[in-house]
Amino acid sequence: MYLEIDEMERSTLTPLEQRLAGHLQPLYPDLDAVEFAQECLAHFGLSKDAPTPAPHRNLWDQSDVMLISYGDSLRSEREAPLRSLYGFLDAHLRDCISTVHILPFFPYSSDDGFSVMDYTTVNPSLGQWDDITNISRHFKIMGDLVINHCSSRSLWFENYKAGLEPGAGYFAEASPDMDLSAVVRPRTSPLLREVQTPDGERHVWCTFSHDQVDLDFRNPKVLLEFLRIIRLYLDKGIRWFRLDAVAFLWKIPGTPCINLPETHEVIRLLRLLIEHHSPDAVIITETNIPNRENLTYFGNANEAHLIYNFSLPPLLINTLVTGSCLHLKNWLMTMPPAQYGTAYLNFIASHDGIGLRPAEGLLSDWELDTLLSTMQRFGGRISSRTTADGESKPYEINISLWDSMRGTASHGPDQWQFARFMCGAAIMAALEGVPAYYIHSLFATENDEARVEHTGSFRSINRHIWQADDLEAALAGDTHHRQVFEAMRKLLNLRREQPAFHPNATMYTLHTGEQLFSFWRQSIDRRQSIFAIFNISDQPQTFNLSELNLILTDEWIDLVSGQAFENRVAQVTLMPYQYVWLSNRRVA
């Protein structure tokens, strides 16, 4: 039973207090929801009379392009890595990147930052809070809220083992005698870890690894800790919040412990507080799960502002190496347009691998096997997970995007690597949503085999660390790194000028055969239309302009090449992986 709020008490509450108490009641039914709501507001430094931001606001436009980078993806002996990162951004990317996702920059014990030891300090090997604040003055920053788990070497966990505060009661426990067979996990390691505490032997929950111990949000003290952490990040200039692995947040033995109603309630609660504190703040949920489950994290435009489009990477890479857009097109036609105030976050590559769970039900087992063997042929590795029945299944492909584009599934490596790579980047730039590019995709960094051998982790293959001077030399020389970097900057600058590429502009998928992937975008004010047509095969493909029903009174130009098309019934031939963006209005 909830501790109900009586009508007299309700009448004295502000709308914010009422809404907050409404979220807290189902999460903590044994607490006085009003008192706890007021405690949450105090921890967040938020007035109970804070004005409510208007709903369905688009906090982005076509100029928003995200870069994903570790704090030390670039290193120099002359300065801290975060300063090197800012220097590169300022010198080379100020005109084509709006937002920087700096992957966890806190002290950590494993998983390249995602085993956080201290949420409140910057890893001294990267820099300090002033470096983060400085970047935030020139770019929007997305920071990671590693909310599901923390390091087994954190003060919290050390205190948990000693029965001290803060930490005692902060971590999820379970008994080995419980039936946990339904629990969904992305790893093959044992779920429970045995530890000794003042109360005897306990078993803590470890969804990802035994160094990443899951926090117990059923304890209201854990929620309050994270409210203080979020407030600190806001004070330091972070406005975009990536909720890492949030789908696993709430644990109830006997259930799959993923996507539980309580998890969605926590996200709604965090959004309520964050947007009242900073109306320009944005929440992104990182939920590497099948597509239909992923879509639920939009809620009713009251949970995530943006969700990762996790099905895009495996489907787009599969499209480019098979020369068939059938599955990509069919999936795209099932995707609901994002409501105003929400948007998709599109990506092809990231610091993690290419997730395969989001391809479930979209690619057949045979097609997945073909994709896996093709990526292995190009130097990729395959990471696995354990299913509820104990079976080991492929979970993700670990490979650099550049190497994934070496060739095709049927013929292997070929001469079209650059064209294929840029075709994929251009598709992502044109789709509905905000595009996010991994820093190594801008440079076309190859597989880092040496780093895999050094760390023993397959994910390290796509986590190369560039020496800043070596990178500058590579971008100045006659290299594929320079070729890709210059082409990517040109592509992104072009994309940012087009109102029809606003993340919420209309998009319709076109039917132009298996080898031509096509869609139509129209700006929100309906003044600009763009027909984006991509040859996703290794053979020339032809289409007729008459198939597009171009408006005869408009002038049509390919934004990519600058070629004008006066003949509305002409045939157009695209070379392998060539693409056109036909627009009725060029925006200077």
156 bridge partner residues: none
Nearest to 556 by CA among 576, 543, 540, 570: 570
Question: Could you tell me which residues come within 8 angstroms of residue 470 by beta carbon, excluding any fewer than 6 positions away?
Answer: none
Which tokens in the block code for residue 499? Answer: 């109102």
Distance in angstroms (rounded) separating the CA atoms of residues 313 and 356: 9
H-helix or E-strand spanning residue 14: none
Q: Strands (DSSP E) along 72-226, which ranges? A: 74-75, 99-102, 140-146, 149-151, 192-197, 200-205, 212-214
Tracing tokens 């435009």 back to the chain, one arrives at: 301
Nearest to 328 by CA among 223, 424, 405: 424
Q: Return the SS3 of 123.
A: coil
Nearest to 156 by CA among 184, 118, 106, 187: 118
179 is in an annotated binding site: no
456 bridge partner residues: none
- Residue 241 vs residues 14, 146, 267, 300, 500: alpha-carbon distances, Å: 26, 10, 11, 19, 26
Phi, psi of 289 (to 5 degrees): -140, 170
74 is in an annotated binding site: no
235 is in an annotated binding site: no
Q: Return the SS3 of 208.
A: coil
Distance in angstroms (rounded) separating the CA atoms of residues 571 and 546: 8
Q: Is there a contact between 548 and 531 (Cβ–Cβ < 8 Å)?
A: yes
Q: Strands 541-544 and 529-535: what pairing? A: unpaired
Nearest to 14 by CA among 44, 34, 28: 34
DSSP single-letter state for residue 390: S
Identify the sign of the CA torsion 415, 416, 418, 419: positive
Q: Is there a contact between 448 and 460 (Cβ–Cβ < 8 Å)?
A: yes
Q: Strands (DSSP E) along 460-513, which ranges? A: 466-467, 506-510
244 is in an annotated binding site: yes
538 is in an annotated binding site: no
Distance in angstroms (rounded) separating the CA atoms of residues 212 and 206: 6
Residues carrying an active site annotation: 244
111 is in an annotated binding site: yes
Annotated binding-site residues for substrate read 111, 149, 242-244, 351-352, 459
